[in-house]
A and B are shown apart, each in its own frame.
Chain A
C-alpha cells in the first residue's frame, strides 16, 4: 500500500486542490452568463414580470368603479366571470375564433412553406420577403383596409353583386368569418415561417430514399415530409393561436359589437366601465386558458410523435 504512495491525507489534499479550481471555473462561467443576460432579465423583470404580478394582485381586489375606499380582497372577480353566461360565451367565442384562424392559416400557410422549401435559394428569398411583407404594415392600417373593402355594400360586395355571384351583400364584416379572415391574414406569416424553418431542416436524402423504394410523391409527403415538419407546424399553431387569443385590433375593427372576444371585453371593462380589477381578473383567465390549451396541445403532439420531437 505504501509503495503506491497512497495516504488518506494525500487523498484529502488532492481533493482540496482540485475542488476550488473547478468551483471557480463554474462560478466564472455562471457569472459571465448572468452578466450577459442581466440587461434582458432586468428588462423583462421591470416591464413584464412586475406589471404582471401587479395585475395579478389587482385581480383579487373587489371594488366598485374608481372608488377604492370600499376595496376588499376576494376571489369575487373570478367567481363573477365563471358564473355569468355572457363572459363564458365570450371566452368560448375567443377560443372558437382563434381555432378557426389557426385552421385557415395552416391550410393557406403549409403550401406556401412547402413551395419555399422546394424553391431555389433566390426564389426562396423573394418568397420570404413576400410572406413577411404584411408585417411591415401596421396591423391597424391593414385591418382598416379590410374594413373598407368588406363594409356592407363596400367594394367586395359591389363587385360580387355586379358580376352576379351574389344578389345581396355578403355580410362578412361584423361577423365571426370577418374576424377570422382578418386574424388569419395578420398571422399567416408566423405560420409560414415556422413551417418553412422546419421543412428546411429535413434531409433531402430521406425523400429521395422514399422515392427509390417506390413511394409515390403523395405517400412520401404524408409519411416523410409532413411528420418531419410537425415541430414547425406545432410551433406555428401555438404562435397563431396565442396571438389570436389576445388580439384586440382585428376583432374590434372587423367584428365590432357583434364579436365580443375577451380582449374587447377586457378593454371595455377597464376603459368604459372603469372596473380595472375585474378587467385584470379576465386578463389572467385569458392568459390561463391560452397557456393551458397550448400546453395540452403541444404535449399531445410531442407524445404522439416522440421520434420527431426528440
Chain B
C-alpha cells in the first residue's frame, strides 16, 4: 500500500514538473536562443493563429490554397481572439506550435514586450515598401488587415426620428438613444478604443483617462448593456439599436446583414489600426512564415482582403465601392495612428477601473 502511494505521489510530482512553472530565467534563455541561426529544413506546413469568422474563411478558402500552389506549404489554421492567441503563444513559449500569430495592434505590442515575437528582417518582406506607414508598428510585425474603430448608426432610425448626425464622441451621450445603443464592453479592443476616444474628446488621453471614465458613466446610464462581442451586436442592431461603436469591418458586416448602417469618424478623430502578423519567437520555419506574411501583403491578397471589408494596408489597393460608401474615409478625415505601446501599458489598469466603476452604472437612466 505504502509503495503504491509513493508511486502515485511520484507520478503526480512528475506530471506537475512536466506542466512547467513560471521561470524567471526562461525569458533570458529564449532571448539567447532566438539569436542563434536556425537551420532551414524542408518545410511542408506552418500554423497560423488569427481571428475566426471572415478572416479564417479568407485564409482557409483563398489565401492558403494559393500559397500552397505557389510554395508547396500547407497552412494550418487556429482560430481565436487576439487575447486568446497571446495566451496560447505565452503558454507554448518553450515549444511553440504556432508559427504566425496575428493580433490586433495593441495586443501585438504586448506580445513583443513579453518577448514572444521575432524581429522580421525588412528585406524578407518585399511588399513592405508599399504598405501605408500609418499601419506600421515596428520590425516585429507586419500589418495585414486594416480597420478603424468608429461610430456606426442606423440611417433609417436617425432619419425617421429626425436626429441630428453624430459628429463627436460626446454626441453618443444622449437621452434620445436611451435603450437603443449597442456599445462594446471595455474588455474588447473596440470598447477600450471608445473609452480612450472619449477621454481624448474631453481633454484627456493615455496619460489621463479620467475624463473618459466620467463620460463613460453617463454613456452607461443610457445603455442596457455593454456588448462583450461583435456577434451579439448584430442581432441588437437588427432589432432596434440605433447607434454602436465598432471596428469598421464589423459595421460593414452589419450592412451585409441588411442593417441600414453607416460609419462616421467623429471630429476628435478615430484610430487607424490593423490586424498584424508576427512570427512567433523560437518557432521553426521562420522563412516559410515570412513568405506567407509577404504573400498576405501582395496586391492580389490585399484585393481579397478588401473584399471582406478590411482596409487594404498597401497603397495601391482600394476598398470596393459597396464598402467604401459605408465605411470608407476621406484623406481629410481625422484618422490617426495611435500610440500602441502607451495603450498596452495602461490598458489592464483602466479596463479594470471601467469594469468596477462604469459598468455598474448601466441602465440607470433607461428604466422608466
- Annotate B213-253 by CB proximity to A: 1 below 8 A, 0 otherwise: 00000000000111110001001100111000000000000
Cross-chain contact of B239 among A46, A154, A268 (Cβ < 8 A): A154
Q: Judging by beta carbons under 8 Å apart, are A151 and B23 in contact?
A: no
Asked if A238 is an interface residue, CB under 8 A from chain B, the answer is no
Q: Tell me, yes or no, whether B176 is within 8 Å of chain A by CB.
A: no
By CB atoms of chain B within 10 A, which of A61, A148, A152, A154 has the most? Answer: A152
CB of B352 within 8 Å of the partner chain: yes
Contact of B87 among A34, A260, A270 (CB under 8 A): A270
Q: At the interface, yes or no: A169 with Cβ under 8 Å from chain B? A: yes
Q: Flag if B225 contacts A257 (CB, 8 Å).
A: yes
Tell me if A53 counts as interface (CB < 8 A to partner B). Answer: yes
Cβ 8 A contact of B22, one of A49, A63, A174, A275: A63
Does any Cβ of A come within 8 Å of B159's Cβ?
no
Given known contacts A69-B24, A152-B239, A257-B226, A54 and B16 CB-to-CB distance under 8 angstroms: yes
Bound-state CA distance A63–B235 (Å) is 39
What's the interface size class on B, roughly?
35 or more
Q: A45 — which chain B residues lie within 8 A by C-beta? A: 8, 11-12, 15
- 0/1 per residue, B157-182, Cβ < 8 Å to A? 00000000000000000000001000
Chain A residues within an 8 Å CB radius of B290? none
Q: Is A223 an interface residue (CB 8 A)?
A: no
When chains A and B are docked, how far (Å) is the Cα of A110 from the Cα of B230?
A: 39
A29 at interface by CB-CB < 8 Å: no
Say yes or no: A256 contacts B87, CB within 8 Å.
no
Contact of A49 among B12, B236, B355 (CB under 8 A): B12
Q: How far is the CB of B183 from chain A (nearest CB, A)?
A: 10
Question: A53 contacts B22, CB within 8 Å?
Answer: no
Do the beta carbons of A268 and B187 come within 8 Å of each other?
Answer: yes
Which residue of B has the minimal Cβ distance to A252?
Answer: B228
State whether B225 touches A147 (Cβ < 8 A). Answer: no
**Known contacts A260-B355, A274-B87; is A65 also within 8 Å of B235 by CB?**
no
- The A interface is mostly helix, strand or loop, or mixed, namely loop
Is there an interface contact between B236 and A151, defined as CB atoms closer than 8 Å? yes
Q: Tell yes or no: A272 within 8 A of B by CB.
A: yes
Among the stretches B199-207, B278-286, B356-364, the one at the interface with A is: B356-364
The residue that A69 contacts in the complex, of B27, B179, B226, B235, with Cβ under 8 A, is B27
Output the residue of B4, B16, B86 with the most chain A CB within 10 A.
B16
Q: What is the chain A residue whose CB lies nearest that of B356?
A: A86
Asked if A61 and B187 sit within 8 Å, CB to CB, the answer is: no
List residues of chain A with CB within 8 A of the CB of B12. 45, 49-50, 53
Chain B, range 1-43, C-beta contacts under 8 Å to A: 4, 8, 11-12, 15-16, 19, 21-24, 26-27
| Closest Cβ–Cβ distance, residue B173 to chain A (whole Å) | 18
Kindly supply a per-residue 1/0 record for chain A positions 13-35, scoring 1 wherever the CB is within 8 Å of any chain B CB and 0 otherwise.
00000000000000000000010
Chain B 41-78 against A: per-residue CB contact (8 Å), 1 yes, 0 no?
A: 00000000000000000000000000000000000000
CA–CA, A46 and B16, complex, Å: 9
CB atoms of A274 and B236 under 8 A apart: no
Q: Does A40 interact with chain B (Cβ within 8 Å)?
A: no
Cα A61 to Cα B23 with chains together (Å) = 12
Bound together, the chains give a CA A147 to CA B352 distance in angstroms of 26
- Taking a contact as CB atoms under 8 Å apart, the answer to whether B27 and A256 are in contact is no
CA distance A147 to B227 in the complex (A): 12
A residues 40-64 in Cβ contact with B at 8 Å: 45-46, 49-51, 53-54, 57-58, 61, 63
Would you mind naming 22 contact pairs between A and B with Cβ atoms under 8 Å apart?
A: A45-B12, A50-B12, A53-B16, A65-B348, A66-B110, A68-B23, A69-B27, A147-B235, A152-B224, A152-B236, A152-B240, A168-B368, A171-B366, A256-B226, A257-B225, A258-B224, A258-B225, A258-B362, A271-B84, A272-B187, A273-B352, A274-B83
